[in-house]
Amino acid sequence: MKSEGGVIARNPTAGRDFHLLETIEAGIDLQGAEVKSLRAHRANLKDSFARIDNAQAWLHGLDISPYPQAGRFAPEPKRVRRLLLHRVQIERLEGKLAAGGLTMVATRLYFKGSCVKVELALAKGKKAFDKRETIKRREIDREISRALRNRVK
């Protein structure tokens, strides 16, 4: 995972369950030992999403396992974390979300320098037939690449 440029965790269900329209990079407000847990790649982004409440952006569902050496000072693993965005960005996102049908999904958690960043995507939910079509397209692409590899040999 280190070779991916500091990627800590990816959301495996984001691309499968949603049409990802636009991505936004945001910082996360973390407590003490959470960064040490992230350096050990002990995070899970599955089912995590962002909401805007009272002109603040919040990340729900991010699971950061407690750092063993933190002892009793370790924060709760599934707590709601504040996202660090500019007011203009929050207002723009709030306008797009208010238009309806969109949600903010966390797709990737990574280090940028010494800071922890989360990549959020404005997304629209897929219907069941869209999911089947995506799977079918992925299988066709796999077969094509397999045929090309065999042809080159």
24-33, 64-73, 120-129 — which one is most confidently predicted on average? Answer: 24-33
Cross-strand bridge partners of residue 10: 108
Is it the case that residue 11 has pLDDT exceeding 90?
Answer: yes
The CATH T-level fold of domain 2-126 is: Small Protein B; Chain: A; (2.40.280)
Taking the domains of the chain in order of start, what are their residue ranges?
Answer: 2-126
Cross-strand bridge partners of residue 81: 59
The DSSP symbol for 79 reads -
Which residue has tokens 């965005």? 85
Element (H, E) at 45: none
pLDDT digits (tens, 9 = 90+) for 71-127: 777 788 899 999 999 999 999 999 999 888 899 999 999 999 889 999 999 999 888
Q: What's the CA gap between 65 and 78, in Å, rounded?
A: 9
Give the closest residue to 11 by CA, choosing from 151, 128, 118, 122.
118
